[in-house]
Chain A
Amino acid sequence: MKHAPIAGGAWRRHPRALSRCTLGGTVVRAEHHDPVVLSPAGATVWELLAGPASIDDIVSGLPVEESAARSDVQRIVAELVEAGLLVEA
């Protein structure tokens, strides 16, 4: 799936996006969208988006080297936006 590029602004969870942890990963659901089970990396990004955060904020919050993580974070944020789970802060 190809996602729209994510610009440098900040993102936050949609006010009606809900999530719940399970043994198999975090399940997230936005209004009028199907639920999604996040990968472990997606779940980490989701946790870091508890408050408004930019791509830089998220990358700096990860326990990995920045250059390796940036493109993955951008892809995950794009997926979350497409699933209706994030809005621009």
Chain B
Amino acid sequence: MNDTLAMVAATGLQTMLRPHSKPLDDAAFMDVRRRAVDHRLVGLVAAAIASGSLAVTPRQRDLAVADHIAAATWVLQLDQTLLDITHLFSTEGIPFRVLKGAAVAHLDYPDLADRCYGDVDIAVPAADFGRAGEVLRSHGGVRRFPEPRRGFDRAFSKGACFTLPDAVEVDLHRTLALGWFGLALVSDDLFAGSEEFTVGDHRLSALEQPTRLVHACLHAALGDAEPKLLALRDVAQMVLHCDDIEPSLRLAERWRCEVVVADAIVTSWASLGLMESPPLVIWAAGYRADRRSASRLARYRSDRRLHAGLALGGVSAVPGLLTKMRYLRAVLTPRRDDTRLPTRTRLRHGVQAGRARLRR
């Protein structure tokens, strides 16, 4: 079953994973279908059916068509929201970069239909983070988790998630990852350049290609304890079309995340059974992480991966003793009045994470 979904995720690429020339039985197909919806692979299921690599019965095809139309309808709603928000940001003079789904679908996939997404991701400069949040609130957005301490968002946070009245979730980013790697990267770099794409009649700014590639790797390797197939496909999509690897590698070195980039590429190639060996794949295969880098990455893969653990692990990337103390205070003892979990529970998570680190 994993192979079927991986084969679907590799649709259109040269893969060793074998196509399904005979339809799956209905139970197996329903399982693939359910997981494809969960993993936002519906567009690639449709592409696999259209290309003949996933044979289906007429009824299975009807179900896949319905899923694809539903996913596309949602994506169009997300794109409308994206236009609304970016218009408001532009009016307020807030610079932004569209991240992930919408940007990747438009800039990195040959066919938009293949890449579905489920929310809106936008990066804004740290200095504008508060104003951007106010804009989303004025648009009816409700922030899911409160700022742990005043000033945390601007200095340390990965970002914040807002839910709009029409149920669209907007992830407002200050940086691109939780924990150490998110704190180590230079967030101003996100706005150093841009690449534009068009939605309707509107031009929107995304990260430039080398930054987008490194972000795809951060998301694939660090976003979940088990890398998601769509995230791995995004990595493959960009690596295969990367003509000049030097800018991405320079950025990875500057952000101290070469270990993440190498890991994401190696995992992507192994999971999707890819056969081509472009220069970045050769680089990743030859990359050897030092112990410290490997240990930082391992924290994200742990079965006991906890937000508090990632946050505590990030303290060494925070410069200056006083700033470290401010960071730790916010992570371990967030404001009592508006935290989702009781302080005692968050402290317990922090202690657990600290013990786990000591055991390592």
Chain A positions near chain B (C-beta within 8 angstroms)? 13, 15-25, 27-29, 31, 35, 37
Contact residue among A18, A21, A23 (Cβ-Cβ distance under 8 Å from B199): A18
How far apart are A53's CB and chain B's nearest CB, in angstroms? Answer: 15
Contacts A/B (CB < 8 Å), 14 sampled: A18-B79, A20-B75, A21-B72, A21-B113, A22-B65, A22-B69, A22-B72, A23-B46, A23-B50, A23-B64, A23-B65, A27-B73, A27-B76, A29-B76
With a cutoff of 8 Å between Cβ atoms, the chain A residues found around residue B80 in the complex are 16, 18, 29, 31
Q: Are A23 and B73 in contact (CB under 8 A)?
A: no
Q: Name which residue of chain B comes closest to A16, CB basis.
A: B200
B330 proximal to A (CB < 8 A): no
Q: Name which residue of chain A comes closest to B66, CB basis.
A: A24
Q: Are B68 and A24 in contact (CB under 8 A)?
A: yes
With a cutoff of 8 Å between Cβ atoms, the chain A residues found around residue B75 in the complex are 20
Q: Are A20 and B113 in contact (CB under 8 A)?
A: yes
Q: Name which residue of chain B comes closest to A17, CB basis.
A: B200
How far apart are B11's CB and chain A's nearest CB, in angstroms? Answer: 12
Q: Name which residue of chain A comes closest to B74, CB basis.
A: A35
B201 proximal to A (CB < 8 A): yes
Q: Name which residue of chain B comes closest to A32, CB basis.
A: B80
Q: Are A35 and B65 in contact (CB under 8 A)?
A: no
B298 proximal to A (CB < 8 A): no
With a cutoff of 8 Å between Cβ atoms, the chain B residues found around residue A28 in the complex are 76
With a cutoff of 8 Å between Cβ atoms, the chain B residues found around residue A23 in the complex are 46, 49-50, 61, 64-65, 68
Chain B residues 77-108 with CB under 8 Å of chain A are 77, 79-80, 83
With a cutoff of 8 Å between Cβ atoms, the chain B residues found around residue A37 in the complex are 69
Q: Are A29 and B200 in contact (CB under 8 A)?
A: no
How far apart are A84's CB and chain B's nearest CB, in angstroms? Answer: 12
Q: Are B69 and A29 in contact (CB under 8 A)?
A: no
Q: Are B200 and A22 in contact (CB under 8 A)?
A: no
Q: Are A16 and B66 in contact (CB under 8 A)?
A: no
Chain B residues 21-77 with CB under 8 Å of chain A are 46, 49-50, 61, 64-66, 68-69, 71-73, 75-77
B359 proximal to A (CB < 8 A): no
How far apart are A15's CB and chain B's nearest CB, in angstroms? Answer: 4
A15 and B202 in contact, given A22-B65, A27-B72, A27-B76 (Cβ under 8 angstroms): yes
Contact residue among B61, B72, B200 (Cβ-Cβ distance under 8 Å from A15): B200
A47 and B46 alpha carbons, distance in the complex (Å): 21
